[in-house]
Structures are given as structure tokens and as C-alpha cells.
Chain A
Amino acid sequence: MPAVSKGDGMRGLAVFISDIRNCKSKEAEIKRINKELANIRSKFKGDKALDGYSKKKYVCKLLFIFLLGHDIDFGHMEAVNLLSSNKYTEKQIGYLFISVLVNSNSELIRLINNAIKNDLASRNPTFMCLALHCIANVGSREMGEAFAADIPRILVAGDSMDSVKQSAALCLLRLYKASPDLVPMGEWTARVVHLLNDQHMGVVTAAVSLITCLCKKNPDDFKTCVSLAVSRLSRIVSSASTDLQDYTYYFVPAPWLSVKLLRLLQCYPPPEDAAVKGRLVECLETVLNKAQEPPKSKKVQHSNAKNAILFETISLIIHYDSEPNLLVRACNQLGQFLQHRETNLRYLALESMCTLASSEFSHEAVKTHIDTVINALKTERDVSVRQRAADLLYAMCDRSNAKQIVSEMLRYLETADYAIREEIVLKVAILAEKYAVDYSWYVDTILNLIRIAGDYVSEEVWYRVLQIVTNRDDVQGYAAKTVFEALQAPACHENMVKVGGYILGEFGNLIAGDPRSSPPVQFSLLHSKFHLCSVATRALLLSTYIKFINLFPETKATIQGVLRAGSQLRNADVELQQRAVEYLTLSSVASTDVLATVLEEMPPFPERESSILAKLKRKKGPGAGSALDDGRRDPSSSDINGGMEPTPSTVSTPSPSADLLGLRAAPPPAAPPAPAGAGNLLVDVFSDGPAAPASLGPTAEEAFLSELEPPAPESPMALLADPAPAADPGPEDVGTPIPEADELLNKFVCKNNGVLFENQLLQIGVKSEFRQNLGRMYLFYGNKTSVQFQSFSPSVVHPGDLQTQLAVQTKRVAAQVDGGAQVQQVLNIECLRDFVTPPLLSVRFRYGGAPQSLTLKLPVTINKFFQPTEMAAQDFFQRWKQLSLPQQEAQKIFKANHPMDAEVTKAKLLGFGSALLDNVDPNPENFVGAGIIQTKALQVGCLLRLEPNAQAQMYRLTLRTSKEPVSRHLCELLAQQF
């Protein structure tokens, strides 16, 4: 090795650095830096041409200044000039400057590209490597356009040097990631796969990274890599290969390459070829065996490298999930690590075992380690290790050990770090619900949660306990008794008051027989907490009180007294005041029968995915950005927004008074008259009332909208609070939709939820519901980068006449979206009359300083406002005949684009919105549907008939509606779907 002197002869640099080091304050440092910057600037600007040495010195100084966190806004041109130098040293420093300081938006790219082009053509491997490194580091689209065609050629050329191939592989990977469209697969792909056979290990190392990325998008093109990777791995693991050169690290042959190969294999299912599979299993067994052998070196580097391979091997075994023998061996190996003195190994073992727990083959084996894991939860000094232990307990939990695990987690919760309490609470709540044999245990557990960590019990959790208690009548009495007891504690958490208030309001009568919990006792217990609670809770309690009046007429006078008190009737909070006024009036004017109807017990909630599970999914992985990933990985929820359901709206006790009327649970989509009836009831009650203005009674529409409103306890008016006018952006804001906008829109004709759009930066998810002529849409914007988006502004634009046809109200969203975060936007939609063009969604933001904009079609099509109609065959034919004018019919004959599966077709038609009518068409192969399109101005009856012809792979679709454009438009929309 050459003796490298400190500063390497560059005195000026050494002086500058020691000056900086001697600076006593930040100000002094900045002053010194500014002085230096001025000096360098004048040198660069000066007339005298700088020699290579000085240029190098100044560039080094600039690099150092940049490292200290100061932006460098000059010198770029000088660096570009260095690129064309013939001296390696100068060229090198020029490239270094550019790859550190120049980002992909620079205007200099064209000049840089020029220099790169020359170096790539130079056939000098050192120059070529520099140029390739630069592309790999900067990787802008312009560079991709300039070089995407050349790089594959360099990569697979027979005469390229090894180091050039290495750089070319990673360079291509960069271009592919940045702009996949510029790197078309071609005949080079097969040759890239064969790089796995390259005799040079460095080339293999680089190639594996490239192949791993490419094969994820084009698995079939790269299938052959599996057998090649297996044979390569096998040669390394068995140390049979002589080509290990110097890639052995502390007696471990090529550890990093082995890890990468094992990772590559995880992109594919187990190999089908028995010989390949046999060879692979042998490899995996060898790795597991080696872990048990005495180490070849006492050095920690040896065991670290060995363990890196071991953990990756276990990941592959878990990925295959098909070899029970290997899975159990993996589990035993991890079990040993659980007690290892190295924290790193304990952490990784816990993490890895977590995935092992979900395999049916190893679940039992994982469970045998429960005591060790519980012990880890109690004694580990590192919070991240404890968190892994909690995750593992959650993963290994089943019916047999649920009580033990839940009680351990509850105990841990008392001392748990604040950062992870909420997650533990969610997990306990989920386990308690999932494995509840008797629901009294479940109720106890949740109340314990509130007692121990009330602050961390989110709404979802206590909503859920209410849902379950409401739906299971065997636990209602117990729940009432338990909350009553819990409320007697001198200090109890506000969440306890909420749960208690709700449950006693619904089921307090079940314990009223006991004189210790007689109605007046229940009331005074609840009311003793009233004054200490927040507005939302007090609002909930007022609802409980009015329910008490119905349940226990003897409390009526007391409660009316409370409602009448000035502190309620004239409360500064609008919601409380309104409730007090309404309830007071309701209790005095309504007859017992009316009261009993209005304040009836809540009907059972529809069964649906647990809202807390959804919340946990969302929390999993920091940042909602990762939650998006989760959704993709989890096969059970193909829809990313499965986890985003605003479920709580079902349980919205704290929401407007409408809840109590049972409006929320009552109207299934097919029964439109119901909410209107219930709404009218309230209006009727008030119409005789002396005090209450009739406008307080929600009409059916308002009730519906508030039903869709996520729980906003503050105010029923929230909906109208900030109605950002949808069409306000000026004309310059209207972008043209991206080319694939129509295709994206088509995906949503028959479904309401899913990923609308995704690119490198942004993912947009949609969840929407429609009822009659109204709809609500949630848009989820996920920032996929780790950089904040600025000036983020999505807006909805109505092209042409659409404004008179469709009203869309949007709420504003925050202008900044942090890296990895997700923001949600709510849209309220009202269909005024039939329409053809969908509204546009225009999203603008700044990413890394560069403005980005994107225009999509919002997935709102006329069929969303479909109301399915059931009718008998003869009615159908009669109506069909009535709509026989030629312009009322639209027909299309088209080729099937998807396999013709009757079940899929049915699902699509139902998703489209019409009812499917059986036994109408004489030919059972055909599909017949009917429905009404609901708009504010008019209703359009629609009949449809779809005739598949399996032989010809064709369909004939006929639409008849009372309105010509609607027929045509529906026909076009639907025809795209098959």
C-alpha cells in the first residue's frame, strides 16, 4: 500500500479543514465557509486558467463544504469541464463532483451526457467505469434516453472487462427503476441471466441485483435464473467451487453473494424440476448443518457472515413454506438464537420467527418457545427487541394460548414504552376478540385495556366492543354489570365513561333489578362523571340520558331537570345545546309509544371486517406509505383500502342525534323508503313542538350524508364547514388526462375500491360508496418516496357541461405530504342529471423542487347511481317492449377480452349496479338485468341483456333506457368490461 499522508499534499485543503475544525461557533464556521466559497468562486471566474491540481483541490473543498450542509450553487460548469480531461485524476474528480452534487434535474445533463458518451466509446475500461458510475448515481430520464440502448450491449458484450460489466449491470438497474419504459426486454435478457454463470464473482454479485429487480416485473422472461442461481449457490455453499478467488470472508465463502442469490430465489416459487429442487434442498440443509458445527474461527466476523446466510436461508424456507422438515429445523435454529447473548441475533430471531409462526407446518414448533418470548418481553433492555417479542406473541397466538398471551401483553402494557402502547392495545383487542370463547372474558379484557392504557385506546377499539356487545345478547347483561362496577372507581378514564354511557343507555335495564344498580343509581353514577368530560363524551351521555327516559320512566323528571338546566340549554357548544333542546322537547311532547319507537335498542351491526384489524394494518410499518405495501402483500385484501374503511360511522354514538333513531343501521341500499320514513317521523314529532325548529330534523338526504360522514363528534354541520368549491381552479389548471386515464377509469366501472393510480412517487387509492343520487369518495394519496411533497393540491375539475350535471364538493388537504405518509381527501358527490364525461382529478405538487402534475379521470360514472330493481319475467318483457323506440336502444357486438366465465360476468354486472334477473331470458346462458339510474332531476329506468357466445368468443350487449344518451353511454361503459 502506498503511504498516504494526511491531506495528500493538498496543503490548502488541509488548512481549510483545520480552520473549520478550530471554529468555536457555528457563526465562525459559516463565516469561514463563505470566505472560502468567495475565494473559490473568484478563482473559477478569474482569467487565469486553473491547472488540474488546483481544480482538484477546489472541488475537494466544495465537497467538504457540501458535506457540512451548505448548498453549492457554482462549480458545476468547472466539474463538467474536468470530465473531458484526458487525465484520469481530473476526470475522476469531475465525476465525483457530479455524482455527489448534481441531481437529475440539472440543466447540465446534456453536457454531462456528452462527456459520458465519449468515455463510453473510449474503450478504456477505467473511463467507462467512471461514466457508468455517473449514470448509476444520477440516473435521470434524459440519461436514460441517451444511454438505455447502449448499456445492455456493453453489459453482455463478450469483450467487456469484468469491472465494466459490474458497473453496467447496476447502471442498467438504475435506468430501469427510473424509467422502465426506456429499457425494453430483448434478446439481451437471456444473456443477462447467464451472467449468473460468469466466472467472475463480482460480475455475478452485480448481475444478481439486476436480475432480482427485473424478474419481479417479468417473471417469465427470467425463469431460467432459478436453476442457474441454485447451481451457483450450491457451488459456493459446498465450497466445491475453485472460482471463489478472494471472495472468502473470514472462512465464509462469498457471504454477500450467497445472501443475494437466496434473495433472488425468493422471487419464485419452489423449483418444479426435481433435480434442481433436490440440489437446492441440499444447499439449505448444508447451511443449517453448518450452523451447528463448531466455528472455523473465533472471530465475530466469521459468525456474523455465517449468520447472514443462515437468516436468508431461513427466509427462503419460510417463503417456500412447503418443506415441514426444514421449517421445523429453521424454527429450532431460531429458538437457539432467542437465548443467544448477542442482542442482534435475538432481535433477528424474533423477527424471523414471526413469519415462521404463520406457517401451518411450523406454528406448533414456534409455540414451544412461548416462555422464552414472554421472558424477552419482560427482560429485554432494548425497546425494539421487546417490540419484536410482542409481535411474535401476537403471531403465535391461537385458541390454546390466547388467555396466557393476552394477560402477558396486558401486564407488559403497564410498563411498555409509550411509542408502542397504541399498537399493543390494538393487538390485545384483536386477539381478545378473535379468540374469545366466552365474551365475558372479552369484555373484561377490553375494560382492562381502558383501565391500564386508556389514552392509547383509540376510537376503533371502543367502538368495536360496543358493536360486539350490541350484536351478542348473551353478553349484554354481563357487560352492563361490569361497566357499572368499573365506573365506580373514583378516577376512571374518559373512554370508560363513553363505553359505560353507551352500554348502560342500551342495556342498563338488564341490571336495574338489583337495588345496588337501580336506575337512579346508574344515572347519578354516570352524571357524576359528566362535568369532567369532554364535549364529545357529554354529547354521548346526553343521548344515554334520553335513552334512560325510555328505559326507566321513573328517571324522567330528574333527567328533564338536568336537560333543562341553563348549563345545557344555553351551552356554548352548539352540539350540546342542540341535543339538550331536542331531547328535552322529545321527552315532553312524544307519547310513550313514540318514545319507545324512536329510542329503541340499536339493531345489530352488520358483520364486517373488524375496524381495529384495519387500524392495525394501517399502523403496521411506520408511515401509511408502508401500509399501502402491506395491502399489496396481504393476499386476503387485494384492495389496498381494505384497511382504510371508515367503519366507525356505524357506531357513531357521538354523532348527530340522527343516530339514536337507528337511521344509521336501518337503510340497506335496496330499501330507499326506510330512511325517509324515519326522518319524517322526527319531523312530525317536532312539527307540534313549541320550541324546536323543524329544520333540525334531518331529511333523508342529510341523514344519508351524515351517515357517510366519518365520526366527527363536533358538529353535524362539518360537512358544510369547508366546502372548497370544486370548480374553482382557473383554466390554466385544467391539465389533459394522462394517456392511461381511460383505462384506469374502466377498471373502476364495476368496482368502487382499489388503487386508481400508481407511479414511482405517488399512489392514489379510492374508496367510494354511492346511494341513490349521492356518493362519497375517499381518495388516499400515498407518498411513496421518503421526501416530503410540497404544495400538494388535488382538485376536481368539471369539463364542459358537467358542472350542471354533477356536483362534487371536495375538502382541502394538507399542502405537505411527508415521505411515506398518506393523506386522505373526502369528496361528496351529487348526481344532478345524467352525464357522460367523468370529472377530472388534477393533482399538483412539488417533489424535490420540481413541479409535478397529473390529471386523471375520477372514477365516477353514471352507473354508480344505479339502483337495482327486481322484477318478474313478464314485467321485464312488458317494459322491454315499452322502450322499443330505436333511439332508446343501444347495442354492441364485441369480442371477449377476458375469459368468458359466467360467475365473473355475474359479479361484474352486479358491480355495474343493475339487478340480475333469473328465469327471464329463455336461454339460461344469457344475462338480464334491470335498474334505475337516480339523479336529482330525473330517474332513468334501464334494462340490459348480455348474450355471450362462447364458441365465437363474442358478446352481444343490448341496453334499453328511457333516455337515449344514457343507453349509449352505459352500453359503451359496460362493453369495455368483458
Chain B
Amino acid sequence: MIKFFLMVNKQGQTRLSKYYEHVEINKRTLLETEVIKSCLSRSNEQCSFIEYKDFKLIYRQYAALFIVVGVNDTENEMSIYEFIHNFVEVLDEYFSRVSELDIMFNLDKVHIILDEMVLNGCIVETNRARILAPLLILDKMSES
């Protein structure tokens, strides 16, 4: 099960956080700081999986942005690793070349996308067109 999904930049600023188990807000900040610290301290030669407390962190870096997913031991590391990429490709398609700013200014949309892909800590949809469908309805409605 996925425990949390984070997007954090190199300065340690969280750009998106989604928890699938309740975590208190002061704990969140602490956790996010620790998580980004452990990702930043790693080099390319190191693997993308970090054992952290009782779960595993799986991370990928895109430019200055880290996407970090915390999972328990029932997940397949490689599939989550590639799932992160799938998520980024979906963002990329929607925002046409996504950047950190897009994510900040459209936090609600990124949330919608993530909610379509992951629900209750489980991967629920991986097909790009279907992930974006509700968002496109939304856009059409706000245009009219």
C-alpha cells in the first residue's frame, strides 16, 4: 500500500503532499524534511529505494523536483518506481511540458490527477486518457 505521495523541490519545499494514512500536520513537516534530506544526500550511483522507519521510500528526480512515494512492504518497488514516471507523463501531457510552477499554481488539478490514479493507497488507473477525462470535463465547464 502507498502511504504517502510527495513532490518536494531541492530546496526542501513541499509542492504536493498526499497522505493515505492520517498524519498530524506537525509530523508531516518533520517527515517531509527528513524524507527530502535522505533523497538529497544520495548520488546517482545509489539505488532509488530507501528503507525509512517501517516503510520504503521510492523516489525519482525530475530536474529540481523529487517525487517520493512511501510504501509498505506489500508493494513492488519497480512498479511504483515506474508508476511515478507514468504520473509525470500524465502531468506533462496535461500541462504540455510540466514545470514546478504549473504544479504550484494548479495544485487542485494535480490533486485531481493523483486522485484518479491512486485511491486509498492503491493504484487504480494507469490509462492516460481516462485519468484526464474528469479534468477535461471540468475545464470545458469552466470555459463555458
Identify the A interface with B (CB < 8 A). 1-4, 6-8, 10, 13-14, 17, 56, 60, 63-64, 66-71, 87-89, 92-93, 96, 99-100, 103-104, 126, 129, 133, 136-137, 139, 163, 166-167, 169-171, 173-174, 201-202, 205-206, 209, 245-247, 249, 254-257, 259-260, 263, 301, 304-305, 307-309, 311-312, 315, 343-344, 346-348, 381-382, 384-385, 621-623, 625-626, 785-788, 819-820, 848-849
**Chain B residue at minimum C-beta to C-beta distance from A258:** B79
Cβ contact within 8 Å between B46 and A820: no
Cβ contact within 8 Å between A173 and B107: no
- List residues of B (1-39) whose CB comes within 8 Å of A's CBs: 3, 13-18, 21-29, 32
Contact of B105 among A17, A137, A263, A308 (CB under 8 A): A17
- Least Cβ–Cβ distance between B51 and chain A, in angstroms: 6
Cβ contact within 8 Å between B102 and A4: yes
Cβ contact within 8 Å between A69 and B124: no
**Chain B residue at minimum C-beta to C-beta distance from A71:** B25
**Chain B residue at minimum C-beta to C-beta distance from A52:** B142
Q: Which residues of A contact B108 (CB under 8 A)?
A: 56, 60, 63, 92-93, 96
Contact of A92 among B48, B107, B138 (CB under 8 A): B138
Q: Which residues of B contact A100 (CB under 8 A)?
A: 18, 111
- List residues of B (48-86) whose CB comes within 8 Å of A's CBs: 48-51, 53-55, 74, 76-79, 81-83, 85-86
- Least Cβ–Cβ distance between B103 and chain A, in angstroms: 10
Q: Which residues of A contact B15 (CB under 8 A)?
A: 67
Cβ contact within 8 Å between B53 and A820: yes
State the 8 A-B residue pairs at the shortest beta-carbon distance, nearest first: A308-B78, A308-B79, A382-B46, A209-B122, A69-B29, A170-B119, A820-B54, A347-B47
| Chain B 82-116 interface 0/1 with A at a Cβ cutoff of 8 Å (1 = within) | 11011000000111100001101111110110010
Identify the B interface with A (CB < 8 A). 3, 13-18, 21-29, 32, 42-43, 45-51, 53-55, 74, 76-79, 81-83, 85-86, 93-96, 101-102, 104-109, 111-112, 115, 119-120, 122-130, 133-134, 136-139, 141-143
Known: A89-B138, A311-B77. 10 other contacts (CB 8 A): A6-B102, A10-B105, A66-B25, A89-B142, A129-B134, A166-B119, A166-B125, A167-B119, A171-B119, A308-B76
Q: Which residues of A contact B102 (CB under 8 A)?
A: 4, 6
Given contact pairs A88-B141, A96-B112, A206 touches B119 in the complex (Cβ within 8 A): yes
Contact of A263 among B28, B76, B115, B141 (CB under 8 A): B76
Contact of B95 among A4, A129, A137, A260 (CB under 8 A): A4
- Least Cβ–Cβ distance between A116 and chain B, in angstroms: 15
Cβ contact within 8 Å between B120 and A139: yes
Give A67 to B14 CA distance when docked, in angstroms.
Answer: 7
Q: Which residues of B contact A87 (CB under 8 A)?
A: 141
Secondary structure dominating the interface of A = helix
Cβ contact within 8 Å between B141 and A170: no
**Chain B residue at minimum C-beta to C-beta distance from A245:** B127
- Least Cβ–Cβ distance between A73 and chain B, in angstroms: 11
Contact of B126 among A71, A256, A626 (CB under 8 A): A256
Cβ contact within 8 Å between A381 and B43: yes
Q: Which residues of B contact A348 (CB under 8 A)?
A: 49, 77-78
**Chain B residue at minimum C-beta to C-beta distance from A346:** B47
Give A245 to B53 CA distance when docked, in angstroms.
Answer: 39
Give A71 to B74 CA distance when docked, in angstroms.
Answer: 32
**Chain A residue at minimum C-beta to C-beta distance from B133:** A163
Q: Which residues of A contact B111 (CB under 8 A)?
A: 63, 96, 100
- Least Cβ–Cβ distance between A166 and chain B, in angstroms: 6
Given contact pairs A133-B115, A622-B51, A786-B55, A301 touches B138 in the complex (Cβ within 8 A): no
Q: Which residues of A contact B17 (CB under 8 A)?
A: 67
Q: Which residues of A contact B130 (CB under 8 A)?
A: 163, 202, 246
Give A91 to B85 CA distance when docked, in angstroms.
Answer: 30
Cβ contact within 8 Å between A622 and B54: yes
Cβ contact within 8 Å between A68 and B14: yes
Given contact pairs A623-B54, A785-B21, A786-B55, A311 touches B76 in the complex (Cβ within 8 A): yes
Most chain-B CB neighbours within 10 Å: which of A64, A245, A249, A849? Answer: A249
- Least Cβ–Cβ distance between A620 and chain B, in angstroms: 11
Cβ contact within 8 Å between B106 and A67: no
**Chain A residue at minimum C-beta to C-beta distance from B46:** A382
Cβ contact within 8 Å between A343 and B127: no
